[in-house]
Structure 1
């Protein structure tokens, strides 16, 4: 195997290239990114006065094998000194809110929070957990998240906490999203232990054996809940791009949109606007629908499956206010769909990462997330909605939900079109079928990225690693 083409220069494509270029079996890696920058949804604005604003993921969790894997990469890139950790004792980790019945409610945490009735819940959550052990195992091979949690922990928890959580993580509707694909740990706990509680206590299945490097060890010792970087999350793909450039084995191409791909005698011909590239293997880090549009007619069955993976659009509005304007301190608040369809949640960015505030003068930075699965219904077409409309809706949410009467001193509206895939029920079967078709038709193609095996930054990076290792292993 000599040449691998990686389609897509987001964090998944860059990660796959990173793992590939460490193998002597790969002679050349060609990264083709259709936009003018690398990093995908990891995007930060760094203002000249020192303030940093995130338009995509703002913090990464260090937990589990996938979390350790990312930190090992960060270590290797020499970014350890740039890390901004937030530990579990931090107020941003302990205080998370939901906005229900036009009021902010702190989510119960710790034993005391589980033992007593905490609004907006009508009884102590420990009762739900105690009863959960007695609930019978589901018989279906998949189930909606709402149905699964209602069945095991009660409808109230599903309607408020889980509905809000799914809006915050997936910008999606928990009544349609698959528990098996979105929360495999919960699904496996029930399947293997018959109970979520027992699954959490005893473990719910094998996890990849991944030794922690110095940074991952530090995260365990210091009990990190999440971390960011001093210059914003965008500095992660920037460092990765630089590393790849310096490796001498990776060619990075911006503004290189792929028109179509065609199977060749050995591998693929990749048609770009200004020429054709040959590759022995393709790793696609493109969204599923985008890949579907460039496949040849001979791959129609695969194209159809890829087309079936829906995406949602999220409006991310960054706001900065003079002074300290928050009525509560914490990570932020989420909003169940029963309360407000359009606004998914508000992150109090200045609380977990005050280092991103401008150094001079006290300010508060917030991010309002809107739309998701409800975008079209609330705002109309993403093509016609204006920044002014989105900004007005975001500032109104801050006024009504946080009681902030002053106007923001700075704002930024980012409309992230088709940014989060929706793993609807049966998603796992679609992904299995795709990979089966690829194998059956002997296509030298790997699928990575958020469309398939997890939407978090950690999941996407790990999917890049898995594909690279499978490819290198097959070439041995």
Structure 2
């Protein structure tokens, strides 16, 4: 393998490049990023006074093989000293809320959450669990998240809990999202054991092959629930970029949009505005629709599958208030679509990462997420929406939901267009069909990133690792 081109310099493309640079089989690596920065949706604002604000993911989970894999990478990059862990006993881990019928309700947790009735739910969750154990296994190849949860745990949990969770994680509609692709561990638990409860209790669920390094071992020992970095999560892609630059084998190009790719006798020709690059293999970390616009017409079957992969746009509004303004503590709260379709959730950033507050004077940082699958319906075309209207919507949510009458001392509105893929029912078949086409046509092409195998930071990084392992035929 002489030359590998990685299309896309977000965390997926950078992760794949990191693993490629660790292999002596790759002589030359070319990374092409269309924007003016690397890192994609891992994007942090660091103010001169020391405050840090996240415009994408703000905390990364350490659990499972994929979480362990990311922490091993963080360790290898020399970032362990910058880690900011949040333990499972922290108030932000134990206290999460949902806004229903004009009130905030703390979500049940622990054994007491099963045995007692916690509004907005009408009865103890133990009744739902008992019913679930005796519910027949589904027979379909896929199912919506709402249908799956309704069938196994009841409509009330589907309407409130599943709806809110899908909006918080995917900014999506649980009535359209696929349980098999969005929550594969739930689907597999039912398939293996006939019950979510039995499946989650009896199966470890973690794929083998990832040995926890010192940092991952520490996360287990200290029972971390999530983590960030001292200067924000963008520190991770910045560290990978520096690693690549120092490797001597990687060429990194910003403002290098790929216009078209065509197969050649030795691999691919990659056409850009200012030239042509040849590569033996392409790893595409581009969003599915961005890739399909660059593919040759001979890949019409692949283009068709990629075109049918949808995305959601999210407006992220960062607010800072002077003083301590919250009457409760916790991670934040989600809002079911029946309550307010345009308002997805509010995150209490200051509670779980107070290290990102400015050092001088007490402040409160909040992040409000808007739109998602409902963006067009509520706010109109993302290209023409006014930031003032999004800011007003966010500050009104803080006022009505949290009782905050103060005016924010600082704010920033970011419209993240097409930032979260929507895994609708049948998504797994589209992914399988896409990769089958590539294999049948013997194309030197790998598909990675959030469009295919999971939207979390851990999933995207792991997809880069998996593609490199498959390409090079060995461990990393």
Give the TM-score taking structure 2 as reference length. Answer: 0.99
State the secondary structure of the residue aligned to 1:458. helix
Do the aligned residues in 2 keep the contact of 1:10 with 1:40 (CA within 8 Å)?
A: yes
Map 1:73-472 onto structure 2 (within 5 A). Answer: 73-203=73-203, 207-472=207-472
Do the aligned residues in 2 keep the contact of 1:192 with 1:205 (CA within 8 Å)?
A: no
Do the aligned residues in 2 keep the contact of 1:99 with 1:334 (CA within 8 Å)?
A: yes
State the secondary structure of the residue aligned to 1:162. helix
1:324-351 Cα deviation digits (max 9, x unpaired) = 1112100000000000010000000000
Do the aligned residues in 2 keep the contact of 1:192 with 1:204 (CA within 8 Å)?
A: no
The CA deviation at 1:130 is 1.4
The CA deviation at 1:208 is 2.9
* Residue equivalent to 1:5: 5
* Residue equivalent to 1:66: 66
* Residue equivalent to 1:22: 22
Do the aligned residues in 2 keep the contact of 1:4 with 1:30 (CA within 8 Å)?
A: yes
State the secondary structure of the residue aligned to 1:351. helix
Give the RMSD, CA atoms, in angstroms: 1.0
Moved over 3 A (4+): none
Supply the distance in 2 between the matched residues of 1:147 and 1:203 (Cα, whole angstroms): 24
The CA deviation at 1:209 is 2.3
The CA deviation at 1:78 is 0.2
Structure 1, unaligned stretches of length 5 or more?
Answer: none
State the secondary structure of the residue aligned to 2:126. helix
Supply the distance in 1 between the matched residues of 2:350 and 2:215 (Cα, whole angstroms): 24
Supply the distance in 1 between the matched residues of 2:294 and 2:209 (Cα, whole angstroms): 36
The CA deviation at 1:205 is 5.3
The CA deviation at 1:218 is 0.1
Do the aligned residues in 2 keep the contact of 1:193 with 1:204 (CA within 8 Å)?
A: no
The CA deviation at 1:423 is 0.2
Map 1:26-41 onto structure 2 (within 5 A). Answer: 26-41=26-41
The CA deviation at 1:126 is 1.0
Supply the distance in 2 between the matched residues of 1:314 and 1:52 (Cα, whole angstroms): 20
Supply the distance in 2 between the matched residues of 1:369 and 1:49 (Cα, whole angstroms): 25
Supply the distance in 2 between the matched residues of 1:445 and 1:224 (Cα, whole angstroms): 37
1:114-171 Cα deviation digits (max 9, x unpaired) = 1000000000001101111100000101000000000000100010011000000000
Supply the distance in 2 between the matched residues of 1:158 and 1:224 (Cα, whole angstroms): 28
Work out the number of aligned pairs and report it: 475
Supply the distance in 1 between the matched residues of 2:297 and 2:77 (Cα, whole angstroms): 41
Do the aligned residues in 1 keep the contact of 2:65 with 2:206 (CA within 8 Å)?
A: no
The CA deviation at 1:474 is 8.1
1:228-287 Cα deviation digits (max 9, x unpaired) = 000001111000100011011111100000010010001000001100000000000000
Supply the distance in 2 between the matched residues of 1:439 and 1:289 (Cα, whole angstroms): 20
Range with bigger deviation, 197-206 or 217-226? 197-206
Structure 2, unaligned stretches of length 5 or more?
Answer: none
Do the aligned residues in 1 keep the contact of 2:64 with 2:206 (CA within 8 Å)?
A: no
The CA deviation at 1:448 is 0.1
1:390-439 Cα deviation digits (max 9, x unpaired) = 11111011111111111100000000000000000000000000000000
Supply the distance in 1 between the matched residues of 2:50 and 2:130 (Cα, whole angstroms): 49
The CA deviation at 1:206 is 6.2
1:337-378 Cα deviation digits (max 9, x unpaired) = 000010000000000000000000100000000000000000
Supply the distance in 1 between the matched residues of 2:60 and 2:474 (Cα, whole angstroms): 31
